[in-house]
Structure 1
Amino acid sequence: MTEIRTPLRRRPAQRRSAERVQRMLDACAGILDEDGYDGLTTTKIAQRADVAIGSVYQFFPDKRAVAQALALRNFEQFGDRVAERLAAGAFADWSDSVGAIIEVFVDMHRTVPGFRVLRFGDVADTNLLDAAADNNSVVAEGLRELVVRTFALADTPALARALAVAVEAGDAILKMAFRRNPDGDPAIIAEAERLIHGYLADHIVEA
């Protein structure tokens, strides 16, 4: 999916440093689940990751930057999982991928630490993934690249616009599903798939 610049002050040069950064992100995820974004602090991150506070500031200027790095990790993991599902080739046509993409998102919401609070960053900043575009636009662009490549679709402005609308609609409906049930209301999730599939069916044309 779309490559985005890292929020790290500097990239870890050694494996040990890279592992320390990942521990900080894991700590951030755990704190988000327990205390929410408002309860997140760099001190808590350092304590939970078992690193000195100076180590946190060596890589991140503040808690927002840590959350940004975690949101980017979520985005990359989402893209990798979707790409893996699409590459499996178990779809009769493009429309089957709508349900698969939603399933990936729902599974991450249920199983990935911190994802249910942070997702792709809106709780901290609607432009957390990329300063030049809102988070949903970044997700839509990444999905456009994957779908066009996998299903040989015509890559047109109309397609980009349709996917942007679909992501916005899906985001709103899935938020509703998880407000009603911490694990996601199955009936609402099914409605999200039905609505998005029906909408995109009128816009996506195979090349």
Structure 2
Amino acid sequence: MSTPTVSTGPLRRVPVQGRSVARVQRMLDACAELVDEVGYEGLTTTLLAERAEVAIGSVYQFFPDKRAIVQALALRNMDAYLQSLSDRFASETFTHWWDAVDAAIDGYIHMHRSVPGFRTLHFGDVVDLHLLDSDRDNNAVIAERLAELLVEQFQLIDRARLRFALQISVEAADALIKLAFRRDPAGDESVLVEAKALIREYLHRHVDA
């Protein structure tokens, strides 16, 4: 198993030694647990230090504030999500590329069900719609990265229409999946099924691959 990486974006100082990397990972794990328990507004650096079992000075050694910690967590989640998709695309054979979009939706649902903090934070929307990238909103970043994976894996023509359709699909899927988890903590299966059907039909009608 590879050593987890830490995005350098929101970090005040990049951890180099193994112990420092592990300490930052503990802080992010603690952040994930706490946002599920108390929400972003209830999160404090003091609570985080206590949960991660680190000195408060260690928190500020790497992060300027709680927003930066949540940003690092959102980036870690994005990297994990995209890596899982890349691995699945490489290991499975899909009849059509929009079957891979189904897989991407499944991966997003799985993150909601299995990754601490994800149901609360998603990719950072609760904090800032531009948490992943100051120039684009969070869903636009995900759609762009998904387009890159699809173009690379399925030799699609990289065109503006495809990227626009994927951005619409990501927005629609995100809204419906959030609805499913508001209706049922485990995700309302009837809503999730409709979300996938809606996205598949939209892509089938609006994008020629």
In structure 2, the residue matched to 1:116 is: 119
Mapped to 1, the partners of 2:126 and 2:136 lie a distance apart of: 16
In structure 1, the residue matched to 2:195 is: 192
Runs of 4+ in 1 over 4 A off after TM superposition: none
Mapped to 1, the partners of 2:115 and 2:10 lie a distance apart of: 21
Are the aligned partners of 2:8 and 2:14 in contact in 1 as well (CA < 8 Å)? no
Are the aligned partners of 2:30 and 2:51 in contact in 1 as well (CA < 8 Å)? yes
Higher relative contact order (CA 8 A, sep 6+): 1
Output the amino acid matched with 1:164. Q
Q: Give per-residue Cα distances to partners, 1:152-205, cap 9 Å, x unaligned.
A: 111001111111111111111111111111111111001110111111113333
Superposed counterparts of 1:1-207, under 5 Å: 6-206=9-209
Output the amino acid matched with 1:106. I
Instruction: For structure 1, list consecutive stretches of 5 or more residues without a partner in the other structure.
Output: none
Q: 1:105 to 1:58 in 2, by over 3 A?
A: same
TM-score where L is the length of structure 1: 0.95
Mapped to 2, the partners of 1:58 and 1:141 lie a distance apart of: 33
C-alpha deviation, 1:86, in angstroms: 1.1
Mapped to 1, the partners of 2:98 and 2:53 lie a distance apart of: 46
Are the aligned partners of 1:153 and 1:204 in contact in 2 as well (CA < 8 Å)? no
Mapped to 1, the partners of 2:98 and 2:33 lie a distance apart of: 35
Output the amino acid matched with 1:188. V
Output the amino acid matched with 2:87. E
Identity %: 56
C-alpha deviation, 1:89, in angstroms: 2.7
C-alpha deviation, 1:96, in angstroms: 1.1
**Aligned pair count?**
203
Are the aligned partners of 2:139 and 2:167 in contact in 1 as well (CA < 8 Å)? yes
Are the aligned partners of 2:33 and 2:117 in contact in 1 as well (CA < 8 Å)? yes
Q: Give per-residue Cα distances to partners, 1:72-127, cap 9 Å, x unaligned.
A: 00100110111111111321111211221111111110111111101100011110
TM-score where L is the length of structure 2: 0.94
In structure 2, the residue corresponding to 1:130 is in which secondary structure? Answer: coil
